[in-house]
């Protein structure tokens, strides 16, 4: 909205002039993938080829040596924390407003979640608070972009390099 213009609510011009999508989330391509998965006659990833192919394609797309498929966000965060070698007594700074899944992997590894304060306008972690919670035991920072609000990245780049 340009400064000084009237809100659409009050008769001003609409910001969005094109229609939203249909809301339909899956189409023929997804149905084809689903059919191929079911036609393998197994949902165990090791017996079929779909998940292995997905991991290979994903790793190639991002030019990385490994890709691990997981069944949930919780499991993926746990894999990430474990893969980084985070263990007993290590501290991971994260947000106090998040899903349980952000914490489960940290706790399962015997590490300690440390909560940074959040910005009252975005509910994302306040970089100043993050810095205040860094200790010699801090191993990682798990950033949560809450409800589509991008967390502030710029100051995070200034954090010490030994924090993941």
Q: Does 149 bind ligand PLP (CB under 6 A)?
A: no
| Candidate ranges 10-18, 35-43, 81-89, 93-101; the one touching ligand PLP (CB under 6 A) | 93-101
**What is the biggest distance separating any 2 CA atoms in the chain, rounded to whole angstroms?**
62
User: CA 128 from chain center: how many Å?
Assistant: 21
* Closer Cβ to ligand PLP, 67 or 80, answer by number: 80
Residues 55 to 74: which contact ligand PLP by CB under 6 A? 72-74
- Nearest to ligand PLP of 100, 158 (CB atom): 100
Cβ neighbours around 138 below 10 Å, total: 20
CA distances from 57 to 38, 80, 113 (A): 20, 19, 33
Does 94 participate in binding ligand PLP (rule CB under 6 A)? no
Cα(25)–Cα(113) distance, integer angstroms: 35
Contact (CB, 8 A) for 90 and 139: yes
Nearer to ligand PLP (CB atom), residue 40 or residue 69: 69
102 binds ligand PLP (CB under 6 A): yes
**Pick 40 or 104: Cβ nearer ligand PLP:** 104
Q: Both tokens of residue 87?
A: 């263990």
Q: Per rule CB under 6 A, is residue 101 in the interface with ligand PLP?
A: yes
Q: How far is the CB of 149 from ligand PLP (least distance, A)?
A: 12
CB atoms within 10 A of CB 83: 10
Binding of ligand PLP at residue 98 (CB under 6 A)? Answer: yes
Vertex 129, ends 127 and 135: CA angle to 5°?
105
Cβ at position 83, least distance to ligand PLP in Å: 16
Which residues contact ligand PLP by CB under 6 A?
A: 72-74, 77, 98-99, 101-102, 144
């Amino acid at each position: 909205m340009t400064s000084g213009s009237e809100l659409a609510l009050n008769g001003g011009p609409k910001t969005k002039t094109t229609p939203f999508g249909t809301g339909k989330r899956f189409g023929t391509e997804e149905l084809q993938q689903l059919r191929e998965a079911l036609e393998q006659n197994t949902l165990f990833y090791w017996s079929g080829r779909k998940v292995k192919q997905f991991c290979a394609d994903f790793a190639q797309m991002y030019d990385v040596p490994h890709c691990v498929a997981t069944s949930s966000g919780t499991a993926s965060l746990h894999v990430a924390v474990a893969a980084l070698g985070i263990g007993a007594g290590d501290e991971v700074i994260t947000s106090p407003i998040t899903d349980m899944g952000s914490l489960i992997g940290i706790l399962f590894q015997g590490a300690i979640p440390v909560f940074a304060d959040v910005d009252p306008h975005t509910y994302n972690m306040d970089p100043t608070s993050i810095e205040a919670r860094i200790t010699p035991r801090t191993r990682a920072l798990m950033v949560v972009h809450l409800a589509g609000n991008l967390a502030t990245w710029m100051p995070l780049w200034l954090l010490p390099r030994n924090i993941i």
